[in-house]
Structure 1
Amino acid sequence: MHTERLYFADPYLRHFSANVIAREERGGRPAVALDRSAFYPEGGGQPADSGTLGGVAVLDVQSEGELVWHVLAEPLSASAVEGEIDWARRFDHMQQHLGQHMLSAAFEELFGLRTVSFHLGATAATIDLAITALEPSQATAAEELVNTVIWEDRPVHARFVTPEELARLPLRKPPQVEGPVRVVSVPDFDHSACGGTHPRSTGGVGVLHVRRWERRGDTVRLEFLCGGRALRDLRRKNAILGRVASALSVGVDEVEAAVARLRDAEERSRKALELAGERLTRYEAAELAAQAQVVGGLRVVSRVFEGRALEEVRSLAQQIGGAGCVALLGLRGAKAQVVFARGDGLPLDCGALLRAALAPLGGRGGGQPGLAQGGLPDGAQLEAALAAAVAHLASATEL
Structure 2
Amino acid sequence: MSTERLYWHDAYLREWSAQIVARDQQRVALDRSAFYPEGGGQPADHGWINGVAVVDVQADDQDLVWHTLAAPIDAESVECRLDWQRRFDHMQQHHGQHLLSAAFDQLFNWRTVGFHLSGEYVTIDLATCEASPEQLAEAETLANQIIWQNLPIVVRFVSAEELASIALRKAPSVTGAIRVVSAGDFDHSACGGTHPNATGAVGQIHIRRSEKRGDSLRIEFVCGGRALQDLRWKNATLGRIAAGFSVAQQQTEQAVQRLRDQEQQVRKQFQQAELQLLEFEAKGLVEQAQPIGQLKVVAHVWQREPQIVRQLANLVAQAGGVALFGVAASKPQLIFAGQGLDCGALLRQVVAAVGGKGGGSAQQAQGGIAEVNDLAAALELALSNLQSY
Give the stretch that moved more between structures: 320-329 or 163-172.
320-329
Give the aligned partner of residue 361 of structure 1.
354
- For 1:375 and 1:281, the matched residues in 2 are separated by 24
SS where residue 168 of structure 1 aligns?
coil
The structural deviation recorded for 1:178 is 1.9
Aligned pairs for 1:1-399 (under 5 A) are: 1-20=1-20, 22-25=21-24, 28-34=25-31, 36-64=32-60, 65-306=62-303, 308-343=304-339, 346=340, 348-394=341-387, 396-397=388-389
Equivalent-residue separation in structure 2 for 1:118 and 1:332 (angstroms)? 51
* Contact 1:339/1:372 (8 A) holds in 2: yes
Following TM superposition, by how much is the alpha carbon of 1:357 offset from its aligned partner in structure 2, in angstroms?
2.3
Alignment partners' CA distance in 1, 2:111 and 2:13: 33
Could you tell me which amino acid in structure 2 is paired with residue 382 of structure 1? L
How far apart in 2 are the matches of 1:210 and 1:374? 50
Shift of 1:367: 0.6
**Alignment check: 8 A CA contact 2:205 2:224 kept:** yes
In the TM superposition, what whole-angstrom CA distance separates every residue of 1:44-98 from its partner, at most 9, and x where no partner exists? Answer: 2222211111112222222343433322223332222111000001001110111
SS of the residue 1:365 aligns to = strand
Q: 1:258 to 1:160 in 2, by over 3 A?
A: same
Structure 1 residue 227 displacement after superposition: 0.3
Larger deviation, residues 208-217 vs 97-106:
208-217
Q: CA deviation at 1:249?
A: 4.2
Closer/same/farther in 2, CA of residues 16 and 285 from structure 1, 3 Å limit: same
Amino acid at match of 1:266: E
C-alpha separation in 1, matches of 2:208 and 2:379? 57
- Matched letter for residue 201 of structure 2: G
State the SS of the aligned residue for 2:366. strand
| Contact map agreement 1:32 1:71 (CA 8 A) in 2 | no
How far did residue 277 of structure 1 move? 1.6
AA aligned opposite 2:284: E
Q: Cα deviation per residue 1:312-370 (whole Å; 9 max; x = unaligned)?
A: 22222222222332221222233322211113xx2x11111112223222232211001
**Equivalent pair of 1:143/1:209 in contact (CA under 8 Å):** yes
Distance 1:325 1:279 in 2: 17
Structure 1 residue 146: deviation in Å?
Answer: 0.2
Is the deviation greater in 140-149 or in 269-278? 269-278
CA distance 1:182–1:353, change in 2 (3 Å): same
Question: Bigger shift: 44-53 or 240-249?
Answer: 240-249
- Given that 1:210 and 1:222 are in contact with CA atoms closer than 8 Å, whether structure 2 keeps it comes out as yes
Residue 295 of structure 1: how far off its partner (Å): 0.9
Residue aligned with 2:345, SS: helix
In structure 1, give the amino acid aligned to 2:194.
Answer: T
Structure 2: give runs of 5+ residues left out of the alignment.
none
Offset at 1:156? 0.8
Shift in Å at residue 33 of structure 1? 2.1
AA matched with 1:371: Q
Over 6 Å off, 4+ runs: none
Judged with a 3 Å threshold, the aligned counterparts in structure 2 of structure 1 residues 313 and 67 are, in CA distance, closer, same or farther, namely closer
What's the C-alpha RMSD, in Å, of the aligned pairs?
A: 1.8
- What is the identity percentage for the equivalent residue pairs of Structure 1 and Structure 2? 54
Which residue type is aligned with residue 356 of structure 2? Answer: G
Cα contact 1:155–1:187 (8 A) shared by 2: yes
Cα distance in 2 for partners of 1:56, 1:12 equals 21
Contact 1:129 1:221 in 2 (8 A): yes
Aligned residues: 388
Shift of 1:281: 1.8
Q: Is the 8 A contact 1:104 1:114 kept in 2?
A: yes
Which is worse superposed, 360-369 or 373-382? 373-382
The separation in 2 between residues aligned to 1:384 and 1:69, in whole angstroms, is: 69
Amino acid at match of 1:99: G
The TM-score normalised by the length of structure 2 is: 0.94
Q: Deviations over 1:238-263 (max 9, x none)?
A: 23323333444444333212211111
Alpha-carbon distance in structure 2 between the residues aligned to 1:303 and 1:75: 69
Distance in 2, Cα, partners of 1:161 & 1:273 = 71
The 2-side partners of 1:196 and 1:290 are apart by: 79
Kindly provide the amino acid, as one letter, of the partner of residue 16 in structure 1: W
SS of corresponding position for 1:335: coil
Letter in 1 for 2:309: V
Normalised to the residue count of structure 1, the TM-score between the two structures is 0.92
Amino acid at match of 2:376: E
Q: Distance in 2 between matches of 1:261 and 1:334?
A: 39
